[in-house]
Amino acid sequence: MQTTRDLHALTFDVFGTCVDWRSGIAAEARRLGSLAGVRADWERLADAWRALYMPSMDRVRRGELPWTNFDRLHRVSLDQVLRETGAEGFDDAGREELTSAWERLPAWPDAAPGLARLAQRFTVTTLSNGNRSQQAALIRFAGLPFQRLMSAEDFRHYKPDPEVYLGAAR
């Protein structure tokens, strides 16, 4: 019988689990929209963008797209979201900056203290669909005390594909 004494590392999802993607994306879109003179329902934009999360990854899974990291999937789906929400006034540089908003999301208030407490006993690591550079920037921004990063990018599969979990266990 296994006990917690047998555990050495804990993996965590990041988006939604450790950080508040919805308010963070809406706030960054509002800020960047203000700079670009674009007005929109920023919460609706955040929700619509996140709604394309699974369909984007499914395109990679079905082979419609080659392996594509999460930043690029977000960037491609952003154009669709901007059209659908009437917020197309962003130029290319603004769209790239908005895509990088996924690196600037606020941590939930209990995330950093909880992870720090767990890190006293275990190695705490991400296990995210976000790419490695995106995760590194995000955990710095959010002040999350992860000791290691694991990404779908490492396995060239997206969660919930078993290759991600089997790779993490190895």
Q: What is the CATH number of domain 4-18+105-169?
A: 3.40.50.1000
Question: What is the model's pTM?
Answer: 0.91
Output the tens digit of pLDDT for each of the chain's 170 residues. Answer: 666 677 899 999 999 899 999 999 999 999 999 999 999 999 999 999 999 999 999 999 999 999 999 999 999 999 999 999 999 999 999 999 999 999 999 999 999 999 999 999 999 999 999 999 999 999 999 999 999 999 999 999 999 999 999 999 88
In angstroms, the CA 28 to CA 21 distance is: 10
Q: Which fold has domain 21-103?
A: DNA polymerase; domain 1 (1.10.150)
Q: Which residues of the chain form CATH 1.10.150.240?
A: 21-103
CA atoms within 13 A on the CB side of 118: 20
Q: Which residues of the chain form CATH 3.40.50.1000?
A: 4-18+105-169
Q: According to the model, what pLDDT value does residue 107 have?
A: 98
In angstroms, the CA 27 to CA 33 distance is: 10
